[in-house]
Amino acid sequence: MAKFLVEKCGPLSGEVEISGSKNAVLPIMAAAILTEESCQILDAPVLRDVDVMCKLLGSIGSAVKANYEENIIEIETRDIVAKEAPYELVKKMRASILVMGPLLARTGKARIALPGGCAIGARPINLHLKGFQALGAEIEEGHGYVEAKADKLIGANVYLDFPSVGATENIMMAAVLAEGITIIENVAEEPEIVDLANFLNKMGAKIKGAGTDTIKIEGVGKLHGTKHAVIPDRIETGTFMVAAAITRGNILIKNVVPDHVKPVIAKLKECGAIIEDGDDGMRVRGDVNPLISTDIKTLPYPGFPTDMQSQFMAFLTTVTGSSVVIETVFENRYMHIGELNRMGANIKIEGRSAIIQGDRRLQGAQVISTDLRAGAALVLAGLMAEGTTEISEVYHIERGYADFIEKFRSLGASIKRMED
Ligand code: UD1
């Protein structure tokens, strides 16, 4: 297994170009199987998770061409040969469950391995299933699999108890081919939901309200092929924004939608960073003012993203004053705290809150990347830690960040990848 060796660096500077969004491209790839015609996805990031989704769609019967040099993925699904997402793929990538809605809509049946627990919490799929049931599907569970079956999906009203991103996407993808009108309330409002709705509408779907708390879908008989460029990755954007701040650097971040990273902008500004929005990108400067603490509470969009919590926490260990972070989206997303404390941080967990003492002089240590964003947080901490930080299990990081090391190196960081 590969690991990263991260050396302490000075202020990072230069320009970095953000890749297409991981969390937008995965549901869009799944949605492409809703038609037998060819769909072209542009600006697709080159990532392990994207590769897993290519394999999954291939196993279902799609012809998938991934041109990674040009960041284009072409998917054509004339026939579905397997109505199933097997355990080997679901255990590698939980987002595999996003094929359930499209499979059910196109073939009347979907069988998916239950994703099970995961490092950042229990992550059940009850809301996805509740939506399918409301549309008329029968749900059966057994032997680690869940199956949804319906002769015909019929539009219905669905209320989500929590604005789950995956459930909103899966139900939306099932409802586009259902007969009649579906209204989903208390849905997730994330930009990735809007991107998926835009893609589906280009395929001929009739979806209104994506980006608000209620989505209305008028079912159509058939969808057709289309071409779509995915939005820039707002979590990658946020990670490089924090990289500028934690290293007291000055980075121009290109291919950014500033609206998508509003909470990160607001919090970095509260800490004293300077953020300027220009025609050529967003400049983030941590080299102008002394940086100070702030408090954070993660929330569904447009609140502060849970996917930025660990990276921001790494930064807060280096500023003046103490901060409180409250994680409300996942019940167990503090796995990085033990690792940061091994590097000299002083972070205490009290229930859902983490109390972070600032002004810590971090030291390089051997640490484990427990999940994707936790891994990114350790890299950021490593940039400020005396000596070498050795991060193992970096496959998590490579699941979701495109050209991660190359991008950091181009800004002046010293990060090496080594096979164990
Ligand atoms: C997506 C993102 C992930 C991000 C998360 C929250 C993708 C591929 N992944 O994950 O990066 O961290 O949104 O912004 O887009 N829940 C239930 N029942 C369900 C579904 C969810 O209780 O049926 C709970 C989860 O356990 C969790 C919370 O809802 O506590 C949020 O999960 P959800 O929004 O569904 O996240 P994902 O779609 O899995």
Per-state percent for the chain, helix, strand, coil, to nearest 5: 35, 30, 35
Residue 276, both tokens: 């300027």
Q: What are phi and psi of 188, to 5 degrees?
A: -70, 145
Strands 72-76 and 84-85: unpaired
Task: Name the active-site residue from 9, 39, 54, 118.
Answer: 118
Q: What is the DSSP string of 249-312?
A: -EEEEES--GGGGHHHHHHHHHHT-EEEEETTEEEEESSSS--B---EEB-STTSB-GGGHHHH
Mutate to test the pocket of ligand 1, among 94, 132, 165 (most ligand atoms within 8 A of CB): 165
- Which class is 2-18+232-419 in CATH? alpha beta
Q: Atom of ligand 1 at shortest distance to CA of 192?
A: 15
d(C-alpha 359, C-alpha 322), whole Å:
9
| Domain made up of 22-229: CATH architecture | Alpha-beta prism (3.65)
CB 329 less than 6 A from any atom of ligand 1 = yes
pLDDT in tens, 126-165: 999 999 999 999 999 999 899 999 999 999 999 999 999 9
CB 167 less than 6 A from any atom of ligand 1 = yes
Q: Label residue 301 exposed, middle or buried (CB < 10 Å: 0-12, 13-18, 19+).
A: buried
Q: Do domains 2-18+232-419 and 22-229 have the same CATH topology?
A: yes
pLDDT in tens, 14-52: 999 999 999 999 999 999 999 999 999 999 999 999 999
CB 166 less than 6 A from any atom of ligand 1 = yes
d(C-alpha 420, C-alpha 407), whole Å:
23
The yes-or-no answer on residue 39 being catalytic is no
CB 302 less than 6 A from any atom of ligand 1 = no
Instruction: Give the closest residue (by CA) to ligand 1 atom 30.
Output: 330
Mean pLDDT by 10 residues, the chain (420 residues): 95 98 98 98 96 96 96 97 91 93 97 76 87 97 94 97 97 98 98 98 98 98 98 98 98 98 98 96 97 98 98 98 97 93 97 96 96 96 97 94 97 94
Q: For residues 213 and 186, is the Cβ–Cβ distance under 8 A?
A: yes
Domain assignments of the chain as residue spans, ordered by start: 2-18+232-419, 22-229
